[in-house]
Amino acid sequence: MTLTTDNAVLLLIDLQQKLVPVIADGDAMVARSVRLAEAAQLLGVPVRATEQYPAGLGPTVAALAAYPQETLAKTTFSAAGDPGFDALLPAGTRQVVIAGCEAHVCVLQTALDLVDAGYRVAVAADAASSRDPADAAAGIARARQHGVDIVTSEMVLFEWLRDSRNPRFRDVQKLLR
């Protein structure tokens, strides 16, 4: 089943100022997350974010800070385990596309909990990473084993577009250059 913009949300997990610099390929991960957030904005997909212990890890990185309509400060590793999470997702959400860090902790635990709760979940593997690439790979592999779709940011964009006649096609295509 392809991803759609209907009842979808982009969830940016813990892309924070003091965490991203120690993440493997952190700059590329942020760039791909920005690509997703810009496309979501163009196509009317709500963007939400989480911040793990922001007093210690800081706020969302500047490149992404303007995109989320709402941000949840949390201490739980699974965002879905935080008492405020249900209010974070727009009513009627059925699909969640996830980007963020760390892929083997907060991204993985959130994805697994969302699948268990009945959501269709996709993790953009090129927009998710960990401090150690081996941990990231293991987190992505485990997510796949438990029913999470593993995609790339470009896959998400073209699935959200559906057709080159989409009025936003050229705008989204520019994000790929």
Q: What is the Cβ-side half-sphere exposure of residue 91, based on CA atoms within 13 angstroms? A: 0
As a whole-number percent, the residues of the chain with pLDDT over 70 amount to 100
Residue 25: burial class (beta carbons within 10 Å; 0-12, 13-18, 19+): middle
**pLDDT exceeds 90 at position 1:** no
**pLDDT exceeds 90 at position 177:** no
| pLDDT tens digits, one per residue of 69-113 | 999 999 999 999 999 999 999 999 999 999 999 999 999 999 999
Q: Angle between the 108-116 and 133-145 helix axes, to the nearest 10 degrees?
A: 10
Region of 156 (left: φ > 0; alpha: ψ -120 to 50; beta: rest) is alpha
64: Cα separation from own chain's centroid: 11
Q: Are strands 70-74 and 95-101 parallel, antiparallel or unpaired?
A: unpaired
This prediction has a pTM of 0.98
| pLDDT tens digits, one per residue of 34-75 | 999 999 999 999 999 999 999 999 999 999 999 999 999 999
3-class DSSP assignment, residue 48: strand
33 closest CA partner among 151, 96, 107, 126: 126
Rounded to whole angstroms, the Cα distance separating 139 from 157 reads 23
52, 16 Cβ separation under 8 angstroms? yes
